[in-house]
Amino acid sequence: MTKLLIATTNEGKFKEIKHLLNDLPFEFISLGDLENIPEEPVEDKPDIEGNAILKARYYGEKTGLISLADDSGIFVDALDGWPGVISARIADSSTGRWQQILDKLEGVPEERRGASFKACLALYDPDRKQVQLTYGETEGKILRESIEPANGFGYDPIFHVDEVGKAYAEMTVQEKNNCSHRGRALGKMKHILDNQYGGKHIVVPYGIIANNGKLLICKRNDPANPDFHGRWELPGGVLEFGETMKENVVRELLEETNYKIEVLEKIDNIHITEREYPGTKLQIVLIPFVCKVIEKNGDFNDAEIMEMKWIEPDEYINFDYIGENKKIFDEIMPEIKRIMKENNL
């Protein structure tokens, strides 16, 4: 399983992030899980975005792991946005940090105690040399005194979220993730991680073209993929949004073979296979359709096919096929022969 480094030694932050991303196909590790923790980088950027990028890229390059880093800050209205980007560095302890804000706001009325928490998440993939960012913000107010006893960490004991009616420190992990600045940024980042690294399901209807007692097989032209290049398969392609499976088969077979076909029957033998690529896994659902030729419109598409061959049904065993094609032929050949006989193909 792919490792995702959550670039923090803060156990509370690690717990929050892992809780929200836990159903993704990663092994989550923190900096504390590393045998040799890299020396911390100097966070000297003027905004939270710059520091998040700095940390994600630094730890990704140091460890070779996909790295997720965040930077966040609390921006207090009555203090002109202070402490903002330096929120984590105004004191050595969480208590010392939030106590400074309470001291500075002593005597400030309720209506002027507004504040917002802002977060930026940076995802860095050292193989792709790519940084992706998401943002989150939550508005609230600074309490007059800290919540005791307190859950959470950092400024959680003094930051109250009006829309929830609780301070961060009074919330469960789930409640906080639902409304917090980091939770909102994580929700967007989860979508990115799932799209780029999560398993995906694709449907591939494919055609078994029969004509004059023979079946059509195609030799793949795919020099960038040596596992497929120069090997035989049945023609077909990925089902596109908005089209039916029959429409897909007609379109794909015309594009690849230049045969205009009519779909006769779907064979009730759905085959599911998996393929892994760098950073992602595909689950492919293969669905067979027996077809007959209506007319031929020209030569095959040589960008996808090296060669086409018409074979006797029992000749199929003599060819080197891509992936599951041979197994599929083994399973469905009796049905193919039945449909060919019934339709005088």
Question: How do residues 330-339 score in pLDDT, each as one tens digit?
Answer: 999 999 999 9
- Residue 324 — very low, low, confident or very high, per pLDDT cuts 50/70/90? confident
Q: What is the pLDDT of residue 275?
A: 75
Q: List, for residues 275-289, the tens digit of each pLDDT value.
A: 765 556 678 899 999
Calculate mean pLDDT across residues 172-199: 88
For CATH 3.90.950.10, the residue range(s) in the chain are 2-197
Q: In the chain, where does the domain assigned CATH 3.90.79.10 lie?
A: 200-342
Residue 307 has pLDDT above 90, yes or no: yes
pLDDT at 39 over 60: yes
Question: Do 167 and 148 meet the contact criterion of CB atoms below 8 Å apart?
Answer: no
Closest C-alpha among 142, 164, 144, 166 to residue 155:
142
165: left (phi over 0), alpha (psi -120 to 50) or beta: left
Q: What's the pLDDT at 150?
A: 65
H helix or E strand, kind and range, residue 262: strand 259-266
> Among residues of the chain, what percentage have pLDDT more than 90?
75
- Tally of CB atoms within 10 A around 105: 20
Count of alpha carbons within 13 angstroms of residue 331, beta-carbon side: 13
Between strands 159-161 and 130-142, the pairing is antiparallel
pLDDT of residue 280: 61
Q: How sure is the predictor about 19, in pLDDT bands with cuts at 50, 70 and 90?
A: confident
Radius of gyration (Cα) for the chain, nearest Å?
Answer: 29
Question: What is the domain class of 2-197 according to CATH?
Answer: alpha beta
**pLDDT on residue 185:** 95
Instruction: Tell how many helices (H) and how many strands (E) occur in the chain.
Output: 7, 14
Whether the Cβ atoms of residue 283 and residue 199 lie closer than 8 Å to each other: yes
User: Is residue 297 over pLDDT 80?
Assistant: no
Q: Which residues are catalytic?
A: 71
Residue 230: pLDDT band (50, 70, 90) is very high
| CA 109 – CA 122 distance, rounded (Å) | 36
pLDDT band at 199 (very low <50, low <70, confident <90, very high): low
Q: What percent of the chain is helix, strand and coil (3-state, nearest 5)?
A: 35, 35, 30
Looking at residue 240, its pLDDT comes to 87
Nearest to 57 by CA among 65, 14, 119, 10: 65
- Please state whether the predicted TM-score (pTM) of the whole model is above 0.75: no
How high is the pLDDT of residue 194? 84
Domain spanning 200-342: which CATH class is it, in words? alpha beta
Taking residues 277-302, report their average pLDDT: 82
**Residue 43 corresponds to which tokens in the numbers above?**
């966070």
The token pair that represents 15 in the structure block: 């717990």
Does an H or E element contain 245, and which?
helix 245-257
Burial of 58 by CB count in 10 Å (0-12 exposed, 13-18 middle, 19+ buried)?
buried
Mean pLDDT of the chain: 92
Q: What percent of the chain has pLDDT above 70?
A: 97
